[in-house]
């Protein structure tokens, strides 16, 4: 399935080195921290939960939205669902620090309500830019919100989980792998078994390597390049490294 987004990616993104992409990710983080696109979320959040992990990860996870613990700590998946995610990663020989974990929304919806369509739309540009900069081979979408968003289709996770497909995001093809949200498996043993089974396929998906990429000439003709966000003023902000986000 080809899913094309208006993605703030410059023509040169795919030619950037890993350190250059990491620097650009840090600029994006600085920008995100000041984001006020969703007035309610900006007024009620404690932190912007940008995402964390390896900025050059082959495997990226996209969850739904930060909860209370994530909002407190500024890091994704640090509560019970996060512990389960770490356990499942450990079972396939991966550590959290090797992958990049983020969410559809970077701010906690008050009372943990569902993300609103406008909030998803507002945050989508950031998510797409993260994908462009990290260049993962596999994106594991955790649950309905990220699966529906990245596939651009309302089909739910129950029908899709465990079925990888190659999709086009911006100018890159990635292997999308829908799986249940770990929070849903916390209290349902059968769902946990399924999640565990689906996790076991991740190493073989990673071993396939990146899918074939679109012809850069064709894709740039099809999609006009949108300028990346302007460079952050606080480029050398030491807190970016001290936080150990990526």
Give the footprint of ligand URA on this chain (CB under 6 A).
Answer: 63-67, 70, 76-77, 79, 81, 103, 183
CB of 68 to ligand URA, least distance (A): 9
Nearer to ligand URA, 75 or 138 (CB): 75
Return the residue nearest ligand URA (CB atom).
63
Return the number of the residue (187 or 236) whose C-beta is nearest ligand URA: 187
Query: Cβ of residue 219: shortest distance to ligand URA, in angstroms?
Result: 30
Nearer to ligand URA among residue 99 and residue 232 (C-beta): 99
CB 241 to ligand URA: min, Å? 22
Q: Among residues 76 and 228, whose Cβ is nearest to ligand URA? A: 76
Q: Using CA atoms, how far apart are residues 189 and 154, in angstroms rounded to an integer?
A: 26
Spatial distance between the Cα atoms of 39 and 9, rounded to a whole number of angstroms: 25
Q: Supply the minimum distance, in Å, between the C-beta of residue 179 and ligand URA.
A: 12
| Pick 98 or 235: Cβ nearer ligand URA | 98
CB of 62 to ligand URA, least distance (A): 9
- Locate 160 and state its tokens: 């899709």
Cβ proximity of 161 and 180 under 8 Å: yes
């Amino acid at each position: 399935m080809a899913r094309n987004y208006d993605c703030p990616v410059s023509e040169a993104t795919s030619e950037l080195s890993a350190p250059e992409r990491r620097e650009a990710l840090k600029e994006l983080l600085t920008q995100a921290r000041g984001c006020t696109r969703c007035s309610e979320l900006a007024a009620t959040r404690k932190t912007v939960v940008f995402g964390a992990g390896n900025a050059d990860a082959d495997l990226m996870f996209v969850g739904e939205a930060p909860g209370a613990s994530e909002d407190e700590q500024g890091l994704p998946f640090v509560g019970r669902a996060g512990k389960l995610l770490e356990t499942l990663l450990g079972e396939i020989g991966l550590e959290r620090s090797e992958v990049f974990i983020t969410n559809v929304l970077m701010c906690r919806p008050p009372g943990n309500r569902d993300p609103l369509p406008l909030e998803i739309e507002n945050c989508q540009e950031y998510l797409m830019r993260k994908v462009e900069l990290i260049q993962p081979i596999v994106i594991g979408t955790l649950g309905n919100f990220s699966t529906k968003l990245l596939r651009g289709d309302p089909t739910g996770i129950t029908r899709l989980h465990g079925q990888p497909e190659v999709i086009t995001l911006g100018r890159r093809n990635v292997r999308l792998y829908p799986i249940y949200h770990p929070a849903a498996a916390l209290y349902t043993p059968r769902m946990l078994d399924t999640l565990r089974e689906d996790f076991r396929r991740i190493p073989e998906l990673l071993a396939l390597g990146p899918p074939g990429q679109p012809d850069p000439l064709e894709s740039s003709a099809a999609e006009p390049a949108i300028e990346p966000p302007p460079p952050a003023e606080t480029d050398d902000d030491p807190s970016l490294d001290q936080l150990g986000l990526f």
